[in-house]
């Protein structure tokens, strides 16, 4: 048995030190080093650990890796595993990649376990192993019965936290997909610290990563998050996995957003939207309809902007409230939109449009709980602020898509044709864009495209 020793690990970034230090030299955080017991791997401790495919029969020697010229390496496009969930396929970049390690994080109670169990039950033609370290078999069975079509004979449930025992079950079941709920509850006998510690999370993830790459079996990990919204554990956890997905939304509301943070096999700006129901999560195929409020009359302070999330065009409702300042310093508050960009746009409205906003509180909200940073929403934000200031509503069939520069010019936005097509499909009859979009300004029979060069011209045409 190798002699155990103690090492200090940073709980923020995973850096290690032989002694305790106050400030981490890697990430700069203070008082994040904790002492943990570590032990070198020996032949006795590897019993039950995942054995790679390159192991020589009759011994525990491995073939040494050899370097190869890049030109001699042949690459064949492997078919992805398409899940019945179109929203998950979208954010993954076209489906599950064989041998990939996917990490899904989110708030407690947001629906991470429900989503993963729903996917496991939907893969009818595959053998799925669902490993839970937080719930009993009876609890998982109760959730499966609540889900629509919650019967799948090829879905195996395992309630275990020891990775060595998990790999023994994997050898017996031989699954096509593995789900781990959650990685913070797993522990390995190779490390003597408690579950959820920096060394345990790193070791368990490394074992699962080795298994996924050796067998080409995709592994889905559910991860906890901290109070500031970042995934719990060392930052190296996000570096080790292939894809990081963030499950967002208010658990008291019905809509959930699945956002891509990191993806080695696709875009990092994709978005999937779900609706939480009693029978599970329902895919929202046309999110623009839920992001636009259904109102019988026009109200001031509301403007419709055309934005893009990945390859998906969205029409969102921008809500603004401008009121005289009660206290000495006017408030500037925004939800779902960059607060510094809002202040910049308010300065442009004061300087270029002649509006007096210095003695007014300005509150801005992106309806639907989305967080957007698309500059194409600048024109909609300005129009909503002016509408609320003058208490004049914007017609319900008008939308905007343009970036606003510091001199008040309307700047072009990319892929305007997709934004126009989405607005036309939803029944909008007039759209204000930049005149510098050029070839994207093709005439559309059902929509009037207003191509202007200055913000003042847009406000004059809308409000007169």
Q: How confident is the model at residue 116 (pLDDT cuts 50, 70, 90)?
A: very high
Alpha helices in 54-136 (DSSP H): 86-92, 112-122
Predicted local confidence at residue 179, as pLDDT? 96
Q: What is the pLDDT of residues 31-68, one digit of tens each?
A: 888 887 765 544 434 444 555 444 433 444 444 567 88
**In 3-state terms, what secondary structure has residue 242?**
coil
- The mean pLDDT of 436-452, rounded to a whole number, is 81
pLDDT of 100 strictly over 50? yes
Task: Tell whether residue 108 is among the known ligand binding residues.
Answer: yes
Residue from 105, 374, 91 nearest 228 by CA:
105
Sign of CA dihedral 28, 31, 32, 38: positive
Cβ pair 10, 19 in contact under 8 A: no
* Residue 59 confidence (pLDDT): 40
Q: For position 39, what pLDDT does the model report?
A: 57
Q: What are the structural domain ranges in the chain?
A: 5-38, 82-285, 290-463
Is 112 part of any known ligand binding site? yes
For domain 290-463, the question of CATH label 3.40.228.10 is answered with: no
Residue-wise pLDDT tens digits, 316-372: 999 999 999 887 789 999 999 999 999 999 999 999 988 989 899 999 999 877 888
Q: What is the mean pLDDT of the chain?
A: 85
pLDDT (average), residues 442-458: 87
Give the pLDDT band of residue 252 (cuts 50, 70, 90).
low
What pLDDT is stored for residue 105 in this prediction? Answer: 92
pTM as predicted = 0.75
Q: Which of 224-238, 335-349, 436-450 has the highest mean pLDDT?
A: 335-349
Q: Is 28 annotated as a binding residue?
A: no
pLDDT of 26 above 60: yes
Region 82-285: CATH code: 3.40.50.300
290-463 matches 82-285 in CATH topology: no
Residue-level pLDDT at 49:
56
Q: Which pLDDT band holds residue 120 (cuts at 50, 70, 90)? A: very high
Q: Which residue has the higher pLDDT, 291 or 205?
A: 205
On whether the CB atoms of residues 271 and 245 are closer than 8 A, the answer is: no
Sequence length of the chain is 464
Return the pLDDT at 155. 92
Q: Is the pLDDT of residue 90 over 50?
A: yes
Closest CA relative to residue 204, chosen from 216, 218, 190, 215: 190
Cis link prior to 182 (omega < 30° from 0)?
A: yes
110 in a known ligand binding site: yes
Give 64-83 pLDDT, tens digit per residue. 567 889 888 877 777 889 99
The pLDDT assigned to 438 comes to: 75
CA 267/CA 271 separation, integer angstroms: 10
| Average pLDDT over every residue of 300-327 | 90
pLDDT tens for 198-229 read 888 889 999 999 999 999 999 999 998 887 77
So what's the pLDDT on residue 294?
A: 64
Question: What do you get for the CA distance between the two ends of the chain, in Å?
Answer: 84
- Whether the predicted pLDDT of 395 surpasses 80: yes
Residue 61: per-residue pLDDT: 43
Neighbours of 321 (CB within 10 A): 17
**Alpha-carbon distance values, 268 to 174, 196, 263, 274 (Å):** 31, 27, 6, 18
Q: What is the pLDDT of residue 11?
A: 80
Q: Is 111 annotated as a binding residue?
A: yes
């Amino acid at each position: 048995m190798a002699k155990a020793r103690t090492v200090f690990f940073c709980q923020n970034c995973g850096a290690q030190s032989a002694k305790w230090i106050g400030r981490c030299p890697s990430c700069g955080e203070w008082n994040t080093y904790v002492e943990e017991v570590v032990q070198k791997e020996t032949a006795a401790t590897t019993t039950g650990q995942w054995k790679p495919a390159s192991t020589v029969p009759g011994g525990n020697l491995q073939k040494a890796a050899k370097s190869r010229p890049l030109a001699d390496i042949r690459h064949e496009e492997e078919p992805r595993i398409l899940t019945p969930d179109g929203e998950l396929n979208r954010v993954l970049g076209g489906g599950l990649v064989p041998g990939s390690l996917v990490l899904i994080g989110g708030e407690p109670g947001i629906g991470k376990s429900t989503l993963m169990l729903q996917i496991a039950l939907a893969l009818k033609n595959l053998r799925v192993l669902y490993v839970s370290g937080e719930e009993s078999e009876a609890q998982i069975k109760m959730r499966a019965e609540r889900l629509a079509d919650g019967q799948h004979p090829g879905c195996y449930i395992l309630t275990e936290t020891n990775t060595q025992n998990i790999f023994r079950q994997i050898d017996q079941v031989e699954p096509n997909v593995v789900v781990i709920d959650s990685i913070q509850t797993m522990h390995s006998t190779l490390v003597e610290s408690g579950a959820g510690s920096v060394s345990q999370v790193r070791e368990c993830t490394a074992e699962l990563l080795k298994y996924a790459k050796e067998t080409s079996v995709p592994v889905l990990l559910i991860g906890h998050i901290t109070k500031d919204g970042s995934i719990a554990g060392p930052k190296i956890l996000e570096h080790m996995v292939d894809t990081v997905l963030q499950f967002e939304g208010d658990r008291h509301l019905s809509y959930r957003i699945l956002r891509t943070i990191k993806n080695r096999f696709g875009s990092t700006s994709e978005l999937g939207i779900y609706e939480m129901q009693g029978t599970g999560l329902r895919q929202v195929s046309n999110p623009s309809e839920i992001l636009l409020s259904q109102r019988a009359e026009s109200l001031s302070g509301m403007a419709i902007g055309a934005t893009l999330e990945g390859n998906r065009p969205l029409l969102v409702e921008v809500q603004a409230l401008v009121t005289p300042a009660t206290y000495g310093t006017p408030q500037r508050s925004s939800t779902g939109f960059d607060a510094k960009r809002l202040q910049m746009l308010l300065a442009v409205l004061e300087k270029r449009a002649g509006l007096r906003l210095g003695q007014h509180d300005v509150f801005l909200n992106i309806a639907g709980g989305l967080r957007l940073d698309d500059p194409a929403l600048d024109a909609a934000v300005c129009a909503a602020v002016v509408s609320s200031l003058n208490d004049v509503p914007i017609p319900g069939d008008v939308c905007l898509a343009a970036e606003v520069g510091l001199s008040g010019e309307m700047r072009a936005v990319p892929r305007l044709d997709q934004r126009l097509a989405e607005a036309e499909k939803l029944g909008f009859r007039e759209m204000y864009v930049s005149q510098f979009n050029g070839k994207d300004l093709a005439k559309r029979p059902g929509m009037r495209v207003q191509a202007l060069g200055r913000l003042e011209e847009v406000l004059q045409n809308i409000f007169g």
